[in-house]
Amino acid sequence: MRVLKIVEGTSVDGPGLRTSIYLAGCNHHCPGCHNPQSWHFDGGREMSQDELLLVVTENEAPVTLTGGDPLAQPRQVEGLVRRIKDELGLDVWCYTGYTWDEIVADEALRAAVAQVDVVVDGRFVLAERDTTLLFRGSRNQRLIDVAATLAAGEVKLFDPQNNNLFSAQ
């Protein structure tokens, strides 16, 4: 996988202290993106799943995949998430510019997030920027509880204040 950087012990990419893995590459190129250097697919360095799991294991913290857009590397993300869940039993969040509808319409994207706990979906929209939101940059982005959404067949949102789910309507 192409990895730009790993931030250990961060509290801005999901609840609690987390290990955030920034993956290279993004096709969305959102105006106002806070991380445009992550758009390049050849950025960072190649890291194996074993190398990434070693870092995650050492930190013993939940994981956030961000970037760039992790879903630019869907098969690699699918394998990494599966190993994090199966071998370490840790919570995984994934930030993506794809909307939930785009994810479920694409077999590779859907497989990549099937075991993720929360997907933060949607492109960053500068006109909807809101610095008061937790764990996202613009009002159009949603915190989607993946397991509940897949079970219900409709988007169920994760409420970071209460750990409760509520309808996306």
Q: Where are the alpha helices (DSSP H) in 29-115?
A: 49-59, 74-83, 100-105, 107-113
**Cα within 13 Å of Cα(56), Cβ side:** 24
Residue 167 has pLDDT above 60, yes or no: no
Q: How far apart are CA 134 and CA 5, in angstroms?
A: 22
- C-alpha closest to that of 18 among 55, 49, 50: 55
Q: What is the DSSP letter of 30?
A: -
In this structure, of 36-40, 51-55, 92-96, 125-129, the range with the lowest mean pLDDT score is: 36-40
Model-level pTM? 0.91
Supply the pLDDT for residue 90.
96
**pLDDT tens-digit series, residues 87-126:** 999 999 999 999 999 999 999 999 999 999 999 999 998 9
Question: What is the average per-residue pLDDT within 29-33?
Answer: 74
pLDDT averaged over the chain? 91
Residues whose CB is less than 8 angstroms from the CB of residue 57 and which lie 6 or more positions away in sequence, other chains included: 88
Residue 166 has pLDDT above 80, yes or no: no
Domains plus CATH for the chain?
Answer: 2-122 (3.20.20.70)
- C-alpha closest to that of 65 among 90, 43, 96, 42: 96
